[in-house]
């Protein structure tokens, strides 16, 4: 996501010109209800944080590179330190299951917002103490006899003082340890009023120490009570980033199943995760005893999962891995397949085909990362291209597929030559074309991580250009009003600098809706994008549907003595 350069668009006659009015449309209906079709409520125990930071964030994120330019190697140290430190500070899924039962028996046991704040400030206090404890740096002596990085943690604490107390600490005296605040005072100030990079990222990261059901409360607040259904996704990319931390996918599945059965609040059903590499390794006896595909089946058939999340930019193609050399995959993983009956590519396709066959047979929707980002190895992000899903849709007609992050228009905003930029070169166009070419399937795109909706500056061209391109796609592909889904991609979106101003009262959805209005979508289409289209994607829009989510969820609700009447709102 390029937040600095907004390039002038030239479609070179690829589509008919479309110039929507940017004046407010008085007759437009406000957002009254929504489904967040792409969210996350994971905590620090659910993620291979260290591996993801080292393999993806440090090497590929433009925002991180901006911070390095601003703070030097200290930010690199701090991000890695924080990623490692925060592990173990969050409740395990098994403990959360017991906590949900305790709160169901006595609601007064649920942590209040004040208690959450107190606990997170206490965690931050300990983090600062650990940074100040130079004994943590034993073994960091580097070649040449220099204590390289010896003082970097203390430099980070100095930067925290500058940010938290700008009137007290200028560049010079911030590095005088004798003048520093106590860790408790610094932690409280950073948490409550820190408006710079450290305060923002620390508050965001500390949320990873919460219960998952508490994060759902935050998501409800973000959407101002208008969210009727939340669809958080579990993710699994440990194998691809080389992180041996046990993220306990099955435990995650079961706590999310427990949350799905909770009474009160918006309905919540999760996307289970499927990593074909983990399944291929299981079949080689190089992974745990439970097949990831069997875990997917349990999630869908017993735990209230509503779909499955996939992450191609980790390194696999949706199909077509067979025949590719082992060098097309991470060395450490490809090495495991040396001497096996199938090379890594064929083993991946075998796992994928069995997975797709199950999804087709049971009418299970799939959501996949489809932005040119987060590649586990530079270049892998291109494996998320929507066009690469054509062989899957051809082989498995009838699939429901949501290709996430529609509307970023990265191929336009990041174009090196603005005059040569074409809408037809964007992945958004690829997705719309894929949906048109495969009417036997239902292909959708969600608006997850739509940072352009956070930009309120009237002089900023990105929201205007985004609205214009969405309008042109709507003109070229009129059915797309029924194939776009609202999604926030919170928790991840919460790290953005501009997010705080849109983090309550449904502002995020309202700002996204403004862009849809400017793109020319009708009230009916916008209600579809915000709410109704999710019913078609999930297969809950027809009360007599057999063998899919409508039938499974009806049975799930009977088992847990819950009312399934909310699904009627999605009927035509």
* 5 inside domain: no
Indicate the pLDDT class of residue 501, thresholds 50, 70 and 90. confident
Instruction: Identify whether residues 63 and 167 lie together within a single domain.
Output: no
* 564 inside domain: no
* 409 inside domain: yes
Question: Per residue in 189-210, pLDDT tens?
Answer: 999 998 899 999 999 999 999 9
CA dist 58 and 53 (Å) reads 6
pLDDT, residue 466, reads 94
Question: Per residue in 84-96, pLDDT tens?
Answer: 889 889 999 999 9
Question: At residue 14, does pLDDT exceed 50?
Answer: no
pLDDT, residue 60, reads 63
CA dist 64 and 51 (Å) reads 15
The pLDDT > 70 percentage for the chain reads 91
Which H or E element spans position 359? helix 344-362
Instruction: Identify whether residues 160 and 232 lie together within a single domain.
Output: no
What's the domain count of the chain? 2
Give the mean model confidence (pLDDT) for residues 454-464: 80
pLDDT, residue 2, reads 29
Instruction: Identify whether residues 198 and 226 lie together within a single domain.
Output: no
Identify the domain boundary among 172, 204, 236.
204
- The per-residue pLDDT of the chain, averaged, comes to 88
* 340 inside domain: yes
Instruction: Identify whether residues 244 and 193 lie together within a single domain.
Output: no
pLDDT, residue 13, reads 30
Instruction: Identify whether residues 142 and 236 lie together within a single domain.
Output: no
Instruction: Identify whether residues 49 and 198 lie together within a single domain.
Output: no
Question: Per residue in 119-133, pLDDT tens?
Answer: 999 999 999 999 988
Question: At residue 51, does pLDDT exceed 90?
Answer: no
pLDDT, residue 366, reads 98
Based on C-alpha coordinates, what's the Rg of the chain? 24
Identify the domain boundary among 171, 204, 237.
204
Going by C-beta distance under 8 Å and a sequence separation of 6 or more, which residues neighbour residue 507? Answer: 224, 501
Instruction: Identify whether residues 179 and 230 lie together within a single domain.
Output: no
CA atoms in the 13 A half-sphere facing the CB of 49: 21
Indicate the pLDDT class of residue 480, thresholds 50, 70 and 90. very high
pTM listed for this prediction: 0.91
Instruction: Identify whether residues 120 and 200 lie together within a single domain.
Output: yes
* 497 inside domain: yes
Give the mean model confidence (pLDDT) for residues 90-114: 96
Instruction: Identify whether residues 465 and 539 lie together within a single domain.
Output: yes
Name which of 11-25, 156-170, 555-569 the model is least confident about: 11-25
CA dist 46 and 534 (Å) reads 26
pLDDT, residue 171, reads 66
* 15 inside domain: no
Beta-bridge mates of residue 268:
230
CA dist 113 and 214 (Å) reads 10
Instruction: Identify whether residues 216 and 117 lie together within a single domain.
Output: no
Question: At residue 236, does pLDDT exceed 70?
Answer: yes
Q: Find out whether 537 and 442 touch, Cβ atoms under 8 Å.
A: yes
Give the three-state DSSP class for 39. strand
pLDDT, residue 134, reads 63
Instruction: Identify whether residues 176 and 278 lie together within a single domain.
Output: no
Higher local confidence (pLDDT), 288 or 527: 527
pLDDT, residue 140, reads 45
Going by C-beta distance under 8 Å and a sequence separation of 6 or more, which residues neighbour residue 450? Answer: 407, 408, 489, 512
* 103 inside domain: no
Instruction: Identify whether residues 197 and 219 lie together within a single domain.
Output: no
Q: Find out whether 430 and 394 touch, Cβ atoms under 8 Å.
A: no
Name which of 174-183, 185-194, 424-433 the model is least confident about: 174-183
Q: Find out whether 466 and 423 touch, Cβ atoms under 8 Å.
A: no
* 153 inside domain: yes
Domain that holds residue 436: 35-93+211-559
pLDDT, residue 549, reads 97
Indicate the pLDDT class of residue 136, thresholds 50, 70 and 90. low
Identify the domain boundary among 164, 182, 204.
204
Higher local confidence (pLDDT), 29 or 511: 511
Name which of 109-113, 148-152, 563-567 the model is least confident about: 148-152
CA dist 291 and 245 (Å) reads 18
pLDDT, residue 135, reads 53
CA dist 185 and 198 (Å) reads 15
pLDDT, residue 5, reads 29
pLDDT, residue 205, reads 93
Question: Per residue in 519-559, pLDDT tens?
Answer: 999 999 999 999 999 999 999 998 877 889 999 999 999 99
The CATH number linked to 512 is: 3.20.20.140
Selection from 248, 394, 244, 236 nearest residue 316 by Cα: 236
Question: At residue 145, does pLDDT exceed 60?
Answer: no
Site of tokens 């106590």: 182
- For residue 147, CA distances in Å to 134, 135, 139, 141, 150 come to 12, 13, 10, 5, 5
Question: At residue 143, does pLDDT exceed 70?
Answer: no
């Amino acid at each position: 996501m390029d937040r600095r350069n907004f390039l002038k668009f030239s479609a070179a006659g690829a589509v008919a010109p479309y110039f929507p009015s940017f004046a407010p449309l008085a007759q437009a209906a406000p957002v009254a209800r929504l489904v967040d079709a792409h969210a996350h409520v994971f905590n620090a125990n659910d993620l291979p944080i260290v591996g993801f930071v080292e393999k993806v964030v440090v090497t590929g994120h433009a925002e991180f590179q901006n911070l390095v330019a601003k703070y030097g190697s200290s930010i690199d140290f701090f991000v890695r330190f924080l990623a490692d430190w925060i592990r173990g500070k969050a409740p395990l899924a098994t403990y959360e299951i017991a906590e949900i039962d305790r709160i169901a028996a006595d609601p007064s046991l649920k942590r209040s917002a004040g208690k959450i704040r107190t606990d997170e400030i206490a965690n931050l206090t300990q983090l600062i103490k650990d940074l100040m404890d130079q004994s943590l740096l034993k073994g960091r002596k580097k070649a040449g006899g220099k204590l390289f990085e010896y003082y970097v943690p203390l430099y980070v604490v100095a930067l925290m003082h500058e940010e938290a107390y700008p009137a007290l600490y200028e560049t010079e005296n911030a590095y005088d340890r004798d003048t520093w605040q106590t860790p408790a005072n610094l932690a409280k100030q950073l948490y409550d009023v820190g408006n710079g990079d450290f305060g923002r990222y620390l508050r965001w990261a500390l949320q990873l120490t919460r219960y998952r059901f508490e994060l759902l409360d935050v998501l409800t607040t973000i959407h101002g009570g208008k969210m009727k259904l939340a669809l958080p996704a579990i993710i699994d990319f440990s194998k691809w980033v080389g992180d041996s931390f046990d993220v306990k996918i099955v435990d995650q599945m079961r706590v999310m199943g427990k949350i799905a059965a909770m009474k009160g609040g918006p309905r919540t059903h999760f996307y289970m995760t499927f990593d074909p590499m983990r399944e291929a390794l299981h079949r080689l006896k190089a992974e745990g005893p439970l097949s990831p595909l069997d875990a997917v089946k349990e999630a869908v058939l017993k735990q209230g999962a509503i779909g499955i999340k996939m992450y191609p930019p980790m390194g696999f193609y949706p199909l077509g891995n067979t025949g590719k050399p082992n060098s097309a995959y991470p060395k450490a993983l490809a090495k495991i397949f040396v001497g096996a009956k199938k090379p890594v590519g064929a083993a991946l396709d075998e796992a994928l085909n069995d997975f797709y066959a199950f999804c087709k047979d049971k009418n299970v929707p799939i959501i996949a990362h489809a932005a040119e980002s987060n590649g586990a190895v530079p270049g892998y992000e291109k494996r998320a291209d929507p066009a690469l899903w054509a062989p899957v849709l051809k082989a498995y007609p009838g699939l429901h597929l949501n290709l996430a992050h529609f509307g970023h228009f990265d191929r336009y905003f990041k174009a090196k030559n603005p005059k040569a930029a074409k809408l037809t070169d964007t992945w958004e166009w690829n997705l719309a074309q894929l949906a048109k070419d495969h009417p036997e399937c239902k292909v959708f795109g969600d608006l997850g991580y739509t940072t352009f909706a956070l930009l309120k500056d009237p002089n900023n061209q990105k929201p205007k250009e985004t609205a214009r391109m969405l309008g042109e796609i709507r003109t070229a592909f009129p059915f797309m009003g029924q194939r776009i889904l609202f999604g926030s991609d919170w928790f991840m979106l919460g790290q953005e600098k501009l997010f705080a101003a849109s983090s309550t009262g449904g502002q995020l959805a309202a700002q996204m809706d403004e862009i849809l209005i400017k793109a020319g979508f009708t009230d009916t289409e916008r209600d579809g994008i915000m709410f109704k289209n999710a019913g078609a994607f999930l297969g809950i829009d027809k009360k007599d549907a057999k063998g899919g989510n409508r039938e499974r969820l009806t049975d799930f609700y009977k088992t847990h003595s819950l009312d399934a009447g909310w699904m009627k709102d999605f009927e035509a």
